Chains A and B, each alone.
Chain A
Amino acid sequence: MSTLDAPLLPEGRKRCSFWAFGFWMSVWSLIIVWGLIGAYFVLRYGLNQTNMDDYFAFGVWIVVDLAVIALGAGAFFTGFLTYIIGKKELKDIINAAVIIGFICYSGAILMLSVDIGQPIRGWFGFWHANVHSMLTEVMFCITTYLSVLTIEFLPLIFENRKLDEVPFLHHFAHNLHEIMFIFAGVGTFLSFFHQGSLGGMYGVLYARPFAFRTGFLIWPWTFFLFVLSAAATGPCFTMLVVWITQKVSGKKLVPPNVFNLLGKISGSLLAIYMVLKIADTLYWALVTSPKMGLTFWEYYREGPYGFWMVIAELGIGGVLPAIILLIPKARQSEFWLISASILASFGVTMNRFVFVVVSLAIPVLPFEPFASYLPTWQEWAISAAILGYGGIIYSLAYRYLPVFPKEVQLYAEK
């Protein structure tokens, strides 16, 4: 069976018919179109199209940004493990990790350009950079890291059957592979800082008792906790996506031992993270916050943002997956491995939500009221568009590029 685009498909790999693929793509496109409509409203009429206000300066977009950047961390961390630590078996999944990372980071930047009130001036952040601002550094690091991801992505693209026929690209890709460890290193360094500074962004808000954390030197503890949580949950998300790819394509793409290894590493990191996170929360609740006159329970007294969030984030989305992933038998079982990945991804998303939205919901002035926030359709649409965007890039990559080195071999084994 050969389809219209057969000459473009990677050698020896089975792909669905061009029409089936076309249909699959149109579903994602619809989501994007909805997002584009939302974006038009926002750019044309301004941010009054959202339910953000002077209380909720940040809304669902920033939550999604922080979440995808955390979940995209699979790229830098897997790269780190593969090229720096030298876990060669991870080469079987690194491509997917890189693609997911690329999607998450480019998506985040696209969304930010709608989020800021003056998109056209966005670059002022680089031009008139303020070294004291965690956000400055986030901007620098994320953009730089995106170019690193692009470089990491390029050789894979050039391995496309047609492009590979171009000798220059062939050699270019080959040489890039040779020096990939350098980019992995740079990526790791950058990621460390921007993941950290994303946490720092909130930790340094020393006038916002709910978010403020003391820290080490100039870094609030959130700096390190964000790095750790991203490193721990990023790979989980990579596994989750690859697993979904396997289910959808009905093929084995990655040897189980890879999942097992990633799961083990994530589990250990997640465990360490939870210990530190809980310690941090206790210190904040018992020392930092009371110093500012607010006790732990006051934060959860009013509105929809109750104590249940703590349970959801730390319990269901943290301790539980960590335990699962630390039990070798559980890791063997696909069900438990994937459930744990889902829970961990949920947990980290919850964590970002709490810092972005709940921090702002809690009044600091005693005579200010508590407020809550629900996004408008425009906000949902643009958030969903990131999903659509990811779906399309990822599908294209999977169809036309040799994303999974072991795909053919695993197929033969069957």
Chain B
Amino acid sequence: MNTAHGKGGIKYGMVIDLDKCIGCGACVTACVAENNNTILQDESNKLKSITWLRLYKFDNGKPYPETEICYLPRPCMHCDHHTPCVSVCPATATDYNPEDGIVSQIYTRCIGCRYCVAACPYHARYFNWFDAVWPEGTEECLNPEVSPRMRGCAEKCTFCHHRLMAAKNKAYVEGRREIKEEEYQPACVEVCPTRAITFGNLNNPEHKVAHLKESPYAFRLLERLGTQPKVYYMTQREWVYRKSDNWLDSEWPRLGEGKKEAAKSGGSH
């Protein structure tokens, strides 16, 4: 079915510039607020708490004073090829939409088997181990466009799908079929103080993402697995790029080669 939507069409995606990203976490908080992620009193247990957009921090491991750190915001990659989570879900509770390339999640259909959680190599999937809770009184500011989830089902970043719906309705009312680039922008993109995240239709040459993803500094996470993420990253820092995938000692990839790698493994199944 990938082949069915393989020829162009709309494919929403992101380009995150890791050199512009200062790891402030605004995107994380914006996502939490926009998408009603539950909040535990102990969020330091990253394996049981829910953060659709996780901010990773890692360093180059070099001795003082050559040490450098990097922050990496990790939404759902909306994998485009044989979507790992989608292909394994027994209840079709998570699905790949050929019209926009967005990987959706149907909370009310999810049986909570967690096979998708196991299948996703990016740890982008979260399971509701606990009942939905928010600090007393803050339920008032839950977003009505996004339904809070019940205990026992899985969830993940949806590219703020409800915003796409809103934009579509607006366009429909105004008798348009096309949605303008600025009409559909996720919460994390909108808020970023350094504008490190760009979002749009990867197949539309008028959208910034379309040319950003062609930059020699653009790459994707675990590209060689062939999941074909629609979230791209950019950096001019060699060592950061090398953290984007697993390499054998024999391999010593340089920036820019990420693309060729992908070309190789992309078709490989």
Contact = CB atoms under 8 A, between A and B. Distances in A.
Interface stretch (A50-58, A163-171, A274-282): A50-58
A56 B150 CA distance: 20
Contact of A54 (B112, B117, B225, B251): B117
Given A48-B130, A54-B47, A201-B115, A292 B225 contact: yes
Contacts of B89: 130, 133, 135
A133 B88 contact: yes
Contacts of A24: none
A339 to B, nearest CB: 35
Residue with the greatest number of chain B CB neighbours at <10 A, chosen from A124, A201, A207:
A207
Interface stretch (B168-176, B197-205, B210-218, B240-248): B240-248
Interface string B87-128: 111111100000000000000011111110111111101111
B227 interface: yes
Contacts of A294: 246
A132 interface: yes
A176 interface: no
Contact of A208 (B72, B118, B226): B118
Contacts of A207: 84, 119-121, 222, 225, 227
A21 interface: no
Report the 3 A-B pairs with minimum CB-CB distance, sorted nearest first: A117-B112, A117-B152, A293-B246
B114 A58 contact: yes
Interface string B25-65: 00000000000000000000101100000001010000000
A183 B112 CA distance: 33
Contacts of B58: 367
Interface of A: 46-48, 52-58, 115-118, 121-122, 124-125, 127-130, 132-136, 139, 201, 204-209, 290-295, 359-360, 364-368, 371
A229 B45 CA distance: 38
A141 to B, nearest CB: 12
A130 B91 contact: yes
B153 interface: yes
B129 interface: yes
Contacts of B245: 293, 366
Given A125-B90, A128-B109, 8 more contacts: A54-B126, A57-B118, A115-B113, A129-B90, A133-B115, A207-B222, A293-B248, A365-B56
B129 A53 contact: yes
B246 A54 contact: no
Nearest to B94: A130
A128 B95 CA distance: 12
A371 B151 contact: no
19 contacts: A46-B129, A46-B151, A53-B45, A54-B117, A121-B109, A122-B111, A124-B111, A128-B92, A129-B92, A132-B86, A133-B89, A135-B115, A204-B87, A206-B84, A209-B225, A292-B225, A293-B245, A365-B222, A366-B245
Residue with the greatest number of chain A CB neighbours at <10 A, chosen from B111, B122, B131:
B111
A294 B121 CA distance: 14
B113 A135 contact: yes
A117 B109 contact: no
B90 A139 contact: yes
A48 B265 CA distance: 38
Interface in B219-262: 221-222, 224-227, 243-248, 251
B152 A47 contact: yes
A52 B45 CA distance: 12
A125 B111 contact: yes
A204 B265 CA distance: 16
Interface residues of B, number: 57
Residue with the greatest number of chain A CB neighbours at <10 A, chosen from B91, B120, B131, B225:
B91
A129 to B, nearest CB: 7
B222 A204 contact: no
Given A48-B48, A53-B47, A125-B90, A118 B125 contact: no
A124 B90 CA distance: 8
A117 B128 contact: yes
Interface string B129-171: 1110000000000000000001111100000000000000000
Contact of B247 (A57, A204, A208, A293): A293
A223 to B, nearest CB: 15
Contacts of A122: 111
B248 A290 contact: yes
Nearest to A135: B90
B82 interface: yes
A364 B111 CA distance: 26
B125 A54 contact: yes
A204 B88 CA distance: 9
Contacts of A129: 90-92
Contacts of A365: 56, 121-123, 221-222
B177 interface: no
Contacts of B269: 206
A192 B38 CA distance: 43
A208 B121 contact: yes
B227 to A, nearest CB: 6
B224 A117 contact: no
Contacts of A132: 86-88
A127 B108 CA distance: 13
Residue with the greatest number of chain B CB neighbours at <10 A, chosen from A57, A122, A295:
A57
Contacts of A368: 123
A359 B118 contact: yes
